[in-house]
Amino acid sequence: MQPQIIAIANQKGGVGKTTTCANLGIGLAAAGKAPLLVDCDAQGSLSISLGYAQPDKLPFTLSTAMERILLDEPIAYREGILQHEEGIDLIPANIELSGLEVSLVNAMSRETILRQYLDTVKHQYSHVLIDCQPSLGMLTVNALAAADRVIIPVQAEYLPIKGLEQLLQTIAKVRRQLNPKLKIDGILLTMVDNRTTFAREIASLVREAYGGAIRVFATEIPHSVRAKEISAEGKSIFAHDPNGRVAEGYRNLTQEVLQIEKQCEKRKTGFCR
């Protein structure tokens, strides 16, 4: 099977993109896969959450790699790829990515620079997970243009859900103009507090509104204080709280994602529902 590139995308911040990217990646590693995680956010949240507390001091980041592609300069084998103790590799990011995004505006093939870079490294891996920035700017468009599939984390609250339509329109536009193979794996409900009627109503609303056209993952990631603690430790939820509800949620998500891949492999076409 070809390496699977999955963008974790939502222009809304604070919906669990980085937590999902890190823990899905480590969940895939635990399932015997070989994942590469790509931090595509100038804030470097994924890099920080995986233990690189000062990403601005790293000598090679995603910005370096994409700049080399822009300048048609060589990149050495595995240059800048960091190894994490829980079985994943990481291409980190830092504030330099903001400057690169500005320079992309006037670049030739500006929407495909990330894809061109990932084409040089993806065959070492079973999966490439891209943690997108909280906007629909040029870097997110690059991620969608490079991806085979998209996972959309959505916090179980009213305002984050309102932004879904804009993201879905952007995905549709990228599919039409840049990447016809792009598929939506599904909407992932995160930070769900099932003790409240409101959260249950929002979850039900999402399933009713979108479930007919787009998969809404059966797995829901519960709200947990422990999940917020892990970025300070540089570890996944599996290392921090392996028996907790959030770890169980991400194990279940990993299995759902792998099941989607099996369906896609059988059908080869469509949205793999």
How many structural domains are present in the chain?
Answer: 1
CATH code assigned at 164: 3.40.50.300
pLDDT tens digits for range 93-123: 999 999 999 999 888 899 999 999 999 999 9
Q: pLDDT category, 159, cuts 50, 70, 90?
A: low
Q: Find tokens 């999940």 and name the residue.
A: 227
Q: pLDDT category, 42, cuts 50, 70, 90?
A: very high
Q: Which two tokens stand for residue 14?
A: 């604070």
pLDDT tens digits for range 173-189: 999 999 999 999 999 99
CA–CA distance, 34 with 90 (Å, rounded to integer): 11
In a domain, 272, yes or no: no
Region 35-61: what's the mean pLDDT?
96
Residues 6+ apart with CB under 8 A from 57: none
In a domain, 191, yes or no: yes
Own/partner pairs, 201-207, CB within 8 angstroms, 24+ separation: 202/156, 202/157, 202/158, 202/161, 203/156, 205/161, 206/154, 206/156, 206/161
In a domain, 236, yes or no: yes
pLDDT tens digits for range 231-253: 667 788 999 889 999 999 999 99
CA–CA distance, 47 with 253 (Å, rounded to integer): 22
Structural domain range at position 161:
4-267
